[in-house]
Amino acid sequence: MKTHQHYKFKRNSQDRRKRTILPLKYLLFGGKRKTIRRREDQNKLIILDNHNYRFGILAIIILILSVMDGLLTLNLIELGAFEINPIVSTLVSINPYLFIFIKYLVTAVGIVILILFNNYRSKIFGMRVAKLLSIYAIFYIFVIGYELYLKYHLNIMG
């Protein structure tokens, strides 16, 4: 029979709970934590290792919609529309490709942040952050619908 002393010597001297950086295997292949198990942890900011595939699908959809929005914005500007956002207007005037790249990058970083903190209950919005991904996608669908509406009317008038 193995004693407590036997297991004590078998252990690594390093306490895995004190790591500040995740091991590479968790970043590449994910971990095992999919949900928050303890009720007292439900309202704490806890980052999980393993996420629902739905977040990945939503992330891809949002990124595609973001690029579509950027391309439609550029197309509308070519048709005679003007951009009311001064930051976007400046980026488009400097370089349209830079505008698309920065728009994509900002969207991608925002999505990663939302996915990392998906279990956190936002006090501002009164809901879990995970729901914001769906709202983000719906918002982009409405923006693209509006841009298509504008494009249609600018083509008729032009």
Rounded Cα gap, residues 96 and 142, in angstroms: 23
51 pLDDT tier (thresholds 50, 70, 90): low
Neighbours of 81 (CB within 10 A): 15
- How confident is the prediction for the chain on average, in pLDDT? 77
Helices 96-116 and 53-78: angle between axes, nearest 10 degrees: 160
Query: How much is the pTM?
Result: 0.67
Rounded Cα gap, residues 30 and 56, in angstroms: 13
The alpha-helical segments, DSSP class H, found in the chain are 4-10, 24-29, 53-78, 86-94, 96-116, 130-157
- For residues 74-101, give the mean pLDDT: 93
Report percent pLDDT > 70 for the chain: 62
Rounded Cα gap, residues 100 and 120, in angstroms: 30
Each domain of the chain, given as residue ranges in start order, spans: 50-158
